[in-house]
Amino acid sequence: MLPDLHGFGPALAAGTLMTIKLALSALSLGLVLGLLGALAKTSPYKPLQWVGGSYSTIVRGVPELLWVLLIYFGTVNLMRGLGEWFGNPELELSAFAAGSIALGLCFGAYATEVFRGALLAIPRGHSEAGHTLGLSKGRIFWRLIMPQMWRIALPGLGNLFMILMKDTALISVIGLEEIMRRSQIAVTSSKEPFTFYLVAAFIYLSLTVIAMVGLSIMEKRANRGFRRAMA
């Protein structure tokens, strides 16, 4: 019993693709920001701790929608200034770029806490062992800490990714043609809001289910060779 989509099926499919693209680009920005935030928060330098701490506190305390609007509408003058510098006064942030930055920023703030927890969960002895072996600080982080951190942080990051995927709907507010925006367009001509928003809901549900399955596969892979205590 497929609902009649009035020929908007391909448009919705294109919107789904856009949503996935947006989620992945926000994810990659967010992972970098989260890692930097966690490193700053756990560093021995007070100013860096302060930067990491205020980043995660401030970003997490303000609604995602407000960040989206602020980054899209608030950077118009800034971008114009930048554009004049490079001789292109028409320069502006696209909805896709603004959305990726806003969602990446929010993802990064939560990921900061997840990564920090994972960093602290790795026994000190491991980095000390690295020192004894004569490895440099960067090497210890890349070869010893990071691979282990990944395993501990994965469930938390998975939850954040599900939240991120649902938050991509917010970018429809600034006009990016993802699932929600495409459904809105379909509603204006078909006058069937319930049908189309329900279809949108089911697209999001299936994206969530796919992400859940993918995550459980990744978790299994990351946990190979490990046994949970008290299984």
Partner 1 sequence: MNWELIIKWLPRLAEGALLTLELVGIAVIAGLLLALPLGIARASRHWYVRAFSYGYIFFFRGTPLLVQLFLVYYGVAQFEAIRQGPLWPYLRDPYWCAVLTLTLHTAAYIAEILRGAIQAVPHGEVEAARALGMSRAQALLHVILPRAARIGLPAYSNEVILMLKASALASTITLLELTGMARTIIARTYLPVEIFFAAGMFYLLAAYVLVRGFRLLEQRLRVDACRSR
Near partner 1 by CB under 8 A: residue from 3, 147, 193, 214: 193
How far apart CA 152 and CA 122 sit, in angstroms, is 9
- Check binding of 66 to partner 1 (CB under 8 A): yes
Residue with tokens 């993918």: 214
Per CB under 8 A, does 73 bind partner 1? yes
Crossing angle (nearest 10°) for helices 95-121 and 46-61: 130
User: Residue 38 or 68: which CB sits closer to partner 1?
Assistant: 68
Q: Taking CB under 8 A as the rule, does residue 69 contact partner 1?
A: yes
What minimum distance in Å lies between the beta carbon of 169 and partner 1? 4
Is position 113 an interface residue for partner 1 (rule: CB under 8 A)? no
Nearest alpha carbon to residue 28 among 149, 126, 164, 205: 164
Q: Which residues does 52 contact at the CB level (< 8 Å), separation at least 6?
A: 36, 37, 38, 39, 40, 41, 42, 43, 112
In this chain, which of 17, 209, 210, 213 binds partner 1, going by CB under 8 A? Answer: 209
For binding to partner 1 (CB under 8 A), which residues are involved? 58, 61-66, 69-70, 73-74, 76-77, 166-170, 172-173, 180, 184, 187, 191-195, 197-198, 200-201, 204-205, 208-209
